């Protein structure tokens, strides 16, 4: 395999073939339906084959295609089990790996960006990539001072490929909608395009990671590797050894799942409050569970390792207090106050008239995890929420179509929903309300404490 972009015409042809494949399968499905096969069974087959083709293509191409694949993969919990099951392994692989750059391409990139004497910076450098993702791949190495480091090298031409892929994918985003019920994929693609320039800038990433590493230094729950060196399109950070979150999802113990889920929720809410930055790429490939020298020791000693700060939302005051206030009012059943606040913040446009009681009924199931002391996130719960919002016959569907998501809240919403998707993949029991009371401005004023009993949902 050559550099990431290969020939632009080849990448475009692969992506352009996706809607043709979707259309062909739809025609085949119609033929089968005319032949007497049940419509639901045919729809399931079509969805499964479409998903298999989509993720196989996205994983192959990397670039913007891979980025969309990673963003979609955290929502697989919303799919029916008979659809999600067969390609869950492929999604996990998509989160952790992609075809690597040839060794000579890596060496040429390092020589160009670190200087012809780049090898003198390292005691050791492993030519085999330890991880490969959407715009760069990571190599293990030993820095000249003896520290184990991760060397992230950006794919040559990554920016061009990212924009080209996302533009092409945006043209048939509507056809991808059935893959994740209740989710509009076109705004997701637009938002990913808006973030391209930031993600390609390793200087911005280094500053965001350094801010987190400094704030969380010595933290008992979260660890962020220090930045060792940064130059154009190369980022060197301390190496972080730990159990990838994707492995915890696949085969972790319940203790590991619960601890990882609690720490993930804690980092989601505390990171913005402590650093003024929101880590905005919460797919499992960016997290590790560190069990220390005693893997069988008490779970409360395990820590969450956080990687990849290429995409962040800058929130100098932390999460907007309006979010916490709206959630608190919803839990307190203050329908009129919730409706008024949502209208003030632009979630309800001036020309739209909504029943405050209906708005409350729409929101309460979504924030169910914050109503109780402990909540078990499951794929079943995620599917129920997705189905409720995606079913045109549902009042929730009709109301959701009238709500508006202001641009200032777009990334916060995506990060929150993605994190919830990962919690459902983990099947973790989490004290979410505790984390929200501690870190979300405006929420702690909620009347009463967490419910005494835990709440478990059907798997």
Confidence (pLDDT) at 281: 87
With a cut of 50, say whether residue 424 has pLDDT above it: yes
* pLDDT at residue 315, rounded to an integer: 94
Structure tokens at 287: 């997290």
Instruction: Give the separation between CA 229 and CA 352, rounded to whole angstroms.
Output: 52
DSSP readout, 59-72? HHH-HHHHHHHHHH
Q: Where does the pLDDT of residue 44 fall: very low under 50, low under 70, confident under 90, or very high at 90 and above?
A: very low
The pLDDT value given to residue 448: 39
Q: Do strands 303-306 and 222-223 pair parallel, antiparallel, or not at all (unpaired)?
A: parallel
Distance (Å, whole) CA 284 – CA 73: 9
In angstroms, rounded to a whole number, what is the distance separating the alpha carbons of residues 434 and 431?
Answer: 6
Q: Beta 234-238 vs 287-290: how paired, if at all?
A: unpaired
Average pLDDT over residues 34-62: 49
Query: 227 — alpha (psi -120 to 50), left (phi > 0) or beta?
Result: beta
State how far the Cα of 363 lies from the Cα of 379, in Å rounded to an integer: 19
Residue 97 clears pLDDT 50, i.e. is over it: no
pLDDT given at position 437: 95
pLDDT by residue (tens digit) across 342-378? 999 999 989 899 999 999 999 999 999 999 999 999 9
pLDDT tens track for 182-225: 556 777 677 777 777 788 899 999 999 999 999 999 999 999 99
Residue 50's SS3 state is helix
* CA 184 from centroid of its chain's CA atoms: 15
Q: What is the pLDDT of residues 380-397, one digit of tens each?
A: 998 888 888 878 888 888
Contact 374, 454 (CB under 8 A): yes
As a whole number of Å, the end-to-end CA separation of the chain is 42
pLDDT at 18 over 60: no
What's the whole-number mean pLDDT along residues 38-63?
Answer: 51
Two structure tokens written together for 204: 């911005």
Burial class (CB in 10 A: 0-12, 13-18, 19+), 426: buried
pLDDT of residue 5 exceeding 50: no
Token digits of residue 355: 């029943």
Taking the C-alpha atoms of residue 50 and residue 265, their distance in angstroms, rounded to an integer, is 32
* Collapsed DSSP state (helix, strand, coil) of residue 236: strand
* Residue 20: per-residue pLDDT: 44
Return the pLDDT at 36.
38
- Does the pLDDT of residue 111 top 90, yes or no? yes
pLDDT at 295 over 60: yes
Lowest-confidence segment of 24-38, 193-207, 223-237 by average pLDDT? 24-38
Nearest to 86 by CA among 117, 65, 57, 55: 55
- pLDDT at position 26: 38
Lowest mean pLDDT: which of 78-92, 96-110, 267-281, 319-333?
78-92
Give dist(CA 54, CA 185) in Å, integer.
14
Q: pLDDT-derived band of residue 407, with 50, 70 and 90 as boundaries?
A: confident
Give residue 134's pLDDT band: very low, low, confident or very high (50, 70, 90): low
Structure-model confidence comparison of residues 457 and 394, the more confident one: 394
As a whole number, the mean pLDDT across the chain is 80
Give the E-state strand segments of 15-82 in sequence order: none
pLDDT, residue 422, reads: 93
pTM: 0.79
Q: What is the pLDDT of residue 29?
A: 37
């Amino acid at each position: 395999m050559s550099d990431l972009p290969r020939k632009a015409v080849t990448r475009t042809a692969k992506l352009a073939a996706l809607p043709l494949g979707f259309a062909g399968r739809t025609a085949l499905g119609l033929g089968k339906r005319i032949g007497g096969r049940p419509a639901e069974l045919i729809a399931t087959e079509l969805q499964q084959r479409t998903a298999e083709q989509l993720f196989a293509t996205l994983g192959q191409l990397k670039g913007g295609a891979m980025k969309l694949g990673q963003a979609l993969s955290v929502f697989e919990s919303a799919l029916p089990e008979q659809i999600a099951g067969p390609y869950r392994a492929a999604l996990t692989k998509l989160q952790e790996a992609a075809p690597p750059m040839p060794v000579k391409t890596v060496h040429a990139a390092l020589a160009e960006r670190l200087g012809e004497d780049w090898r003198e910076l390292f005691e050791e450098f492993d030519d085999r990539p330890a991880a490969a993702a959407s715009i760069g791949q990571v190599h293990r190495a030993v820095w000249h001072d003896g520290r184990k480091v991760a060397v992230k090298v950006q794919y040559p031409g990554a920016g061009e490929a990212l924009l080209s892929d996302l533009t092409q994918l945006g043209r048939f985003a509507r056809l991808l909608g059935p893959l994740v019920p209740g989710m509009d994929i076109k705004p997701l693609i637009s938002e990913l395009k808006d973030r391209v320039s930031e993600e390609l800038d390793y200087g911005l990433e280094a500053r965001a990671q350094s801010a987190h590493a400094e704030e969380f230094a010595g933290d008992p729950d979260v660890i962020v590797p220090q930045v060792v060196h940064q130059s154009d399109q190369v980022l060197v950070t301390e190496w972080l050894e730990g159990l990838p979150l994707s492995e915890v999802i696949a085969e972790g113990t319940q203790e590991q799942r619960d601890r990882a889920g609690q720490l993930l929720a804690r980092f989601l809410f505390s990171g913005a409050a402590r650093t003024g930055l929101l880590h905005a790429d919460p797919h499992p490939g960016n997290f590790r569970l560190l069990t220390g020298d005693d893997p069988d020791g008490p779970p409360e000693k395990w820590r969450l390792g956080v990687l990849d700060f290429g995409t962040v939302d800058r929130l100098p005051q932390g999460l907007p207090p309006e979010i916490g206030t709206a959630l608190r009012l919803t839990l307190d059943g203050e329908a009129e106050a919730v409706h008024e606040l949502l209208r003030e913040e632009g979630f309800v446009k001036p020309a739209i008239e909504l029943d405050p009681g209906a708005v409350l009924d729409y929101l309460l199931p979504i924030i169910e995890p914050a109503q109780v002391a402990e909540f078990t996130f499951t794929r079943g719960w995620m599917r129920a929420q997705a189905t409720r919002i995606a079913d045109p016959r549902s009042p929730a569907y009709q109301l959701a179509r009238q709500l508006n998501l202001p641009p200032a809240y777009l990334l916060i919403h995506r990060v929150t929903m993605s994190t919830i998707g990962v919690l459902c993949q983990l099947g973790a029991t989490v004290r979410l309300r505790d984390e929200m009371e501690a870190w979300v401005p405006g929420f702690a004023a909620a009347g009463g404490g967490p419910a005494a009993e835990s709440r478990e949902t059907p798997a």
